[in-house]
Chain A
Amino acid sequence: GNSVTQMEGPVTLSEEAFLTINCTYTATGYPSLFWYVQYPGEGLQLLLKATKADDKGSNKGFEATYRKETTSFHLEKGSVQVSDSAVYFCALSDEETSGSRLTFGEGTQLTVNP
């Protein structure tokens, strides 16, 4: 079956540091890949996505590239801010006609200190 493995947290960085959160996946077929972010007290929000190999998703300074050869979708940001403190979830969606099934990683807690 499908699975997503994320870098274990928590991750603590200083403001303006470089961020990488690793994500690898196992899937049959050609899934779409997503990063979701959950701020304290809120639900999950889509941060970025990529639907095919070599696609790069980007949003709010975050980037991730769909690497089929390494089955990875690592999240990166060049300079984090305190407001980026949240839990980040990597997810994949397989192709279904009766509802998209998202398989999530366990989430990585990021804390950015001033």
Chain B
Amino acid sequence: ETGVTQTPRHLVMGMTNKKSLKCEQHLGHNAMYWYKQSAKKPLELMFVYSLEERVENNSVPSRFSPECPNSSHLFLHLHTLQPEDSALYLCASSQVSGGAPHEQFFGPGTRLTVL
């Protein structure tokens, strides 16, 4: 595997289900991100992990719970979601060093549908 991978690619869940999205980066990066992409809206940054520590949570509802067990893996745990949470969830990674902005590398996304 190379780059950033995400599983599953598609997920349909009911509002009472609990599911998890998985992201893995094979680039040796030290920062990982979750984004939400909804139709006709800009990408929304949800969470940032740097050196396995959460450094940003952009007012995301508690029904979304991230987990970063190591620098290569990132999870997004989902429970009691709403239909408006249906979107493409994108994971990204980057290398952070000394304040210089580096580009982020994205996975293919998980298309989530909440019924």
Binding site for B on A (CB under 8 A): 31-32, 34, 36, 41-46, 49, 51, 89, 93-102, 104-107
Contact = CB atoms under 8 A, between A and B. Distances in A.
Contact of B104 (A42, A94, A95, A102): A102
B105 A46 contact: yes
B42 A102 contact: no
B101 A100 contact: yes
Interface string B51-85: 00001100000000000000000000000000000
B106 A104 contact: no
Range for the number of chain B residues in contact with chain A: 20 to 34
A99 B106 contact: no
B99 A96 contact: yes
B25 interface: no
Contacts of B45: 101-102
A4 to B, nearest CB: 8
B103 interface: yes
Contacts, number: 73
Contacts of B33: 99
A100 B102 contact: yes
Give the one of A31, A89, A101 with max B CB within 10 A: A101
B1 to A, nearest CB: 14
B106 A45 contact: yes
10 contacts: A34-B103, A49-B103, A51-B101, A93-B102, A97-B99, A98-B55, A99-B50, A102-B104, A104-B42, A106-B40
A102 B103 CA distance: 9
A101 B50 CA distance: 11
Nearest to A102: B104
